[in-house]
Amino acid sequence: MIVIACPGQGSQTPGFLEPWLTDASAREALERFSDEAGLDLVKHGTTSDADTIRDTAVAQPLIVAAGIVALDALRAAAPVGAFGGIAGHSVGEITAAYGAGILSDADAMSFVSERAVAMAEAAAATPTGMAAVLGGDQDEVVAHVRTFGLEPANYNGGGQIVVAGAVDALARLADEPLKGRRVIPLQVAGAFHTSYMSAARDWLASADRTVAPQDPSLRIWTNHDGTVVESGAAFFDLMIGQVASPVRWDLCMEAFAADGITGMIELAPAGALVGLARRGLKGVPTVAIKTPDDLPAALELIAQHS
């Protein structure tokens, strides 16, 4: 049984959309998504530099648009009923909501644009950042980072926790890590999935919008606690709350294993989640769809595990 994994912010690299634009339907979709997002996603996915696409307001719509294009290409070639479920990491949950039938592509792009702007504004209010802590007991690491006033943001499994908070606190953590742990600063614009994003969460919760979530037609797990969610409205509310709460990808991977997942396919811009799966889902084969050239490998994995 195959799970589709949808990556989050930080997966994008300059020019990563270029190979997808040779397909006329993909280009048409990206141009439409550009109009819906109010951004030139074709330009940002092909010629914009790393600093430009690191901007939260650009990165999040770009990642969701890429994931939708890759998913549509995969589903067009895969047999009916090929997938056992779908989940997304952070903003990838919006891609997953599209894949599960909770949101239309237009609603997904509309919501991710709102989310991106709200989080970018919250990040700009206070100088904050994020860092990955590698190795060690999870509870011990969390207790240690809290002594610096930092918060856990992403429980990624496999001995990796991303923490977030004030820039000076992150610098102190880097100078005083627990023995045997590595602290790696991340190139992001703010302390996402922490209390620093409370204003963004509250704004999203109160915003007047026409999005009408539908109940999922494909099993979907939530970053909130790794459980399967059967109500589209409930999943949408969880996505809003997740803006200021930790991503529990570790619990998602545990749930994948418990539910019998035997293979994982990560959508574009892919790479991060299959890397986590190598540690958190040892022995489970994976395929990262970075370009259309990776689709045959994904289809082969589906054939082996359907």
* CATH class, 2-124+194-305 region: alpha beta
Residue 205 is predicted with a pLDDT of 96
Amino acid symbol at 66: A
Residue 233 is predicted with a pLDDT of 97
**Of the candidates 134, 108, 121, the residue with the CA atom closest to the CA atom of residue 235:** 108
**Of the candidates 17, 99, 95, 10, the residue with the CA atom closest to the CA atom of residue 56:** 10
Q: Where are the domains of the chain?
A: 2-124+194-305, 127-186
Amino acid symbol at 232: G
> Can you tell me whether residue 31 is helix, strand or coil?
helix
Tell me the pLDDT of the chain (306 aa) as tens digits. Answer: 999 999 998 889 999 999 999 999 999 999 999 999 999 999 999 999 999 999 999 999 999 999 999 999 999 999 989 999 999 999 999 999 999 999 999 999 999 999 999 999 999 999 999 999 998 888 999 999 999 999 999 999 988 999 999 999 999 999 998 888 899 999 888 999 999 999 999 999 999 888 889 999 999 999 999 999 999 999 999 999 999 999 999 999 999 999 999 999 999 999 999 999 998 999 999 999 999 999 999 999 999 987
- Catalytic-role residue among 44, 144, 193, 224: 193
Say if CB 216 and CB 230 are below 8 A apart: yes
Residue 232 is predicted with a pLDDT of 98
- How many angstroms separate the Cα of 123 from the Cα of each of 119, 168, 251, 297? 6, 15, 26, 39
Residue 89 is predicted with a pLDDT of 98
Q: Is 90 a catalytic residue?
A: yes
Residue 179 is predicted with a pLDDT of 85
Could you tell me the pTM of the whole model? 0.96
**Of the candidates 135, 177, 178, 179, the residue with the CA atom closest to the CA atom of residue 157:** 135
- How many angstroms separate the Cα of 304 from the Cα of each of 82, 182, 285, 290, 297? 11, 38, 10, 21, 11
Residue 44 is predicted with a pLDDT of 97
- How many angstroms separate the Cα of 14 from the Cα of each of 74, 119, 226, 251? 23, 22, 31, 31
- Catalytic-role residue among 90, 110, 113, 245: 90
Residue 10 is predicted with a pLDDT of 85
Residue 161 is predicted with a pLDDT of 96
Give me the residues paired with residue 151 across strands: 164
Q: Is 224 a catalytic residue?
A: no
Which two tokens mark 230?
């059967």
Give me the residues paired with residue 134 across strands: 160, 182
* CATH class, 127-186 region: alpha beta
Residue 43 is predicted with a pLDDT of 96
